[in-house]
Structure 1
Amino acid sequence: MTTRILVSNETDDLVGQELFSQLDSVDVIPYDPTTTTLDERQRQAEIFVPPYRGTNRPMPLMAQMTNLRMVQLTAAGTDEWANDVPDGVVLAGARGAHAGPVSEWVLSAALTQYRQWPALVRFQDEHTWAHRKFDADTLHGKRALIVGAGSIGSAVARLFAAFGTESTLVANTSRGGVHAASEISGLIKGHHIVVITAPLNDKTRNLVDRDFLAAMDDGALLINAGRGKIVDTEALATEVQSGRLRAALDVTEPEPLPEDHPLWSCQGAIISPHSARTVPGTNALCYAVAVEQVRTFMTGQTPTNAADRKLISPERDVV
């Protein structure tokens, strides 16, 4: 029996068409993510793969797929799809594919802030040789609290270790070398860096609120590579504006951040446009994971990255 898989025809998704076509007994059907209407063959698809870029664009097309049994994302997080995918349809992400690029972004963000690169660039723009005009610091000897001990958080801890930074990891439940989420309030103090790589779900939504931020040490750095809604944006802006905390954000709430938002002007903040995973070859890594998830589904088993629809999202990445 042939399984029909609907895969985007955009450039970044051609590798996905190639990889899915290597599965046994499949019919890979291309589609245009910008279209509003599927043809008869496309509507018969049982597995729907949204595009690598602008993942949410073709979400309305699901209503035209009468045989839909699975939605396989190339993104790690599934929270943006969880409420729209029909009941009974398996929803899975590409958890694990992003550990390398995102952990590298976290390390680069920490180094950027500690070595004062934003200040250096501003001095360079002014053609100023800024010797001894600013205070740089080192990651060596620092302590990092990593909220989210999955593939990304664990990779961050390994990179930090190479720079002499000690990491404390937090997950849903405790395991060897990892603290339970219930312990987090007692872990915040004493850490120079707090890294968010957790999923967005009912337990983590607004986790980093005013009280959490107030518990962070003076001068501490918050790095959010998870989801914007995990952090109270206004509370964070207040702390960064005051100069008490610093921030490095790949995700925000709202997203994109409005042009007039005060965080843009905070010298203690650096912001990237939800691009931590975006490096050459990441699309192929994501599709490699997606294909394995689909292969598992086609054998009648539950994919390892299947979303817990009750909690909304499986990543970025606590378990």
Structure 2
Amino acid sequence: MTVRSPQVWLPAQFGRLADLPPGLDYARWDGRSAFPTDPAEVEFYVPPLTKDIGVIARPLARMTRLRAVQALSAGTDELRAVLDRLPRDVTLCNAKGVAAADTAELALTLILASLRGIPESLRAQDREDWDPRTFSTLRERSVLIVGHGAVGSALEELLTPFGCAVTRVGRADRDTPQGPVRSVSLLPGLVPDADVIVLCTPLTGATRGLFDAALLSRVKDGALLVNVSRGAVVDTDALLKEVDGGRLRAALDVTDPEPLPPGHPLWTAPGVLVTPHVGAFTPDFWPRLEALVRRQLARFAAGRELENVVTR
């Protein structure tokens, strides 16, 4: 009797991925074309790199032998919700840390660009208008990092040369090599002292709408809110009221809704800088992502515990 090797689906973007562990049967799927093999035979699924959860979820109901899913992003809220509806246990792993340095770098870029008035200077340049103005600085400012995981920790390292007073916030009080992390429950008392607030937290039931009208109202006048996590961590309507009045500024790599549709007020809101969810995407992203997938497949083939387990 022939013993079948466990079936693995990889994204078509990994077409050149080499040195894969032996003992597994590989197929590649682009998310658009017909399934490359019978989904019922798949035991390890690496979905296509897309923000469309419908594409990712399309074969899941038919994957009756599925044991593990390796997401290609750190955030897995939508995928986790889909897997929770399946009538079987599946191990979900994320790509935590793969894009941490790149996302932290963009967060720093957004902070500096916003504080130093780069959007205003670009608009003046478009008008050929020499308009010298005085803007703020990051040096020695108080920075509140909400979500002190891989991205938050990497951002704190980048802030070191600026002499910032950093306050770290996470799910609960804990100690780290960089200093103590305060519980998210303390946010109402922490936000009034921050000149810059950076959101790096995952989107969960507890963080959805975390920065609502009540919490935003406690942020000090003139503060900058930077979001590189997920758009739904912030109440968009509440944020618009604060920036429209000029009380707060915002720099957003993620929005709610996303993608931001034409005509949405965030596009033209005063003091708001928007980038299209590009924090992770640099030339270094793919090699690191491929290295993670290769390690996970080696662990799976050997029957070892997987890395970055989010839930089962």
Q: TM-score, normalised by structure 2?
A: 0.90
CA distance in 1, matches of 2:56, 2:182: 39
DSSP 3-state at the match of 2:192: coil
Find the residue that maps to 2:59 and give its secondary structure: helix
Distance 1:171 1:304 in 2: 21
Q: Distance in 1 between matches of 2:15 and 2:163?
A: 41
Does 142-151 or 288-297 show the bigger shift? 288-297
In the TM superposition, what is the alpha-carbon distance from 1:299 to its structure 2 partner? 4.0
CA gap 1:165/1:198 in 2 versus in 1, 3 angstroms: same
Q: Is the 8 Å Cα contact of residues 29 and 36 (structure 2) preserved in structure 1?
A: no
Letter in structure 1 aligned against 2:171:
N
* Cα separation, partners in 2 of 1:55 and 1:261, compared to 1, 3 Å: closer
Q: Is the CA contact (8 Å cut-off) linking 1:147 and 1:171 kept in structure 2?
A: yes
SS in 1 for 2:26: strand
Q: How far, CA to CA, are the matches of 1:129 and 1:285 in structure 2?
A: 43
Paired with 1:117 and 1:150, the residues of 2 have a C-alpha distance of 29
5+ residue gaps in structure 2? none
Secondary structure at the counterpart of residue 155 of structure 2: helix
Aligned-residue Cα RMSD (Å) equals: 1.9
- Note closer, same or farther for the CA distance 1:40–1:282 as it changes in structure 2 (3 Å cut): closer
What does residue 316 of structure 1 align with? Answer: none
| 2:9 counterpart of 1:6 | yes
Residue 126 (structure 1) aligned with residue 123 (structure 2): no
Residue 286 of structure 2: aligned partner: 283
In 1, Cα distance between equivalents of 2:283 and 2:103: 13
Is the aligned partner of 1:264 residue 2:271?
no
What percentage of aligned pairs have identical amino acids? 35
Deviation per CA, 1:53-90, whole angstroms, max 9, x where unpaired?
A: 44632421122323211111111111111121223011
**AA matched with 1:88:** D
Query: What amino acid does structure 1 have at the position aligned with 2:212?
Result: D
Alignment equivalent of 1:273, drawn from 271, 276, 296? 276
Q: Is the 8 A contact 1:31 1:42 kept in 2?
A: no
Q: CA contact under 8 A between 1:147 and 1:196: conserved in structure 2?
A: yes
Q: SS in structure 2 opposite 1:199?
A: coil
Provide the C-alpha distance between the structure 2 equivalents of 1:204 and 1:154, rounded to a whole number of angstroms.
19
The range that moved more, 226-235 or 26-35, is 26-35
Q: Which whole-Å CA distance do the structure 1 matches of 2:96 and 2:108 have between them?
A: 20
Instruction: Please give the residue correspondences for 1:231-250 in structure 2 after superposition, counting only pairs within 5 Å.
Output: 231-250=234-253
Tell me: CA distance 1:42–1:60, structure 2 relative to 1, closer, same or farther (3 Å).
closer
Q: By how many angstroms is 1:103 displaced?
A: 0.1
Cα pair 1:250 1:274 within 8 Å, conserved: yes
> Are the equivalent residues in 1 in contact too, given 2:168–2:181 (CA < 8 A)?
yes
Give the superposition deviation at 1:39.
Answer: 4.7
CA–CA distance in 2 between the matches of 1:285 and 1:126?
A: 41
In structure 2, give the amino acid aligned to 1:24: P
* SS of the residue 1:215 aligns to: coil
Amino acid in the other structure paired with 2:119 = P
Q: What's 1:315 paired with?
A: none
Q: Point out which structure has higher relative CO (alpha carbons under 8 A, 6+ apart).
A: 1
Q: Specify whether residues 231 and 185 from structure 1 end up closer, same or farther in structure 2 by C-alpha distance, changes over 3 A only.
A: same
Aligned to 2:117: 116
**Residue 280 of structure 2 aligns to which amino acid in structure 1?**
R
Bigger CA drift: 92-101 or 251-260? Answer: 251-260
Q: How many residues align?
A: 301
* Residue in structure 2 matched with residue 44 of structure 1 by the alignment: 41
**Helix, strand or coil: the match of 1:152?**
helix
Q: Name structure 1 gaps, 5 residues minimum.
A: 310-319
CA distances 1:248-298 after superposition (whole Å, capped 9, x unpaired): 111111112232221111130011111111111212212322333343344
Residue of structure 1 equivalent to 2:200: 197
Of 60, 63, 67 in structure 2, the residue corresponding to residue 62 of structure 1 is 60
User: Counterpart of 2:309 in 1: which secondary structure?
Assistant: coil
Q: Residues 290, 55 of structure 1: CA spacing in aligned structure 2 closer, same or farther, 3 A cutoff? A: farther
What residue is the counterpart of 1:136 in the other structure?
A: 135
- Higher mean Cα deviation, 43-52 or 292-301? 292-301
Distance 2:294 2:169 in 1: 30
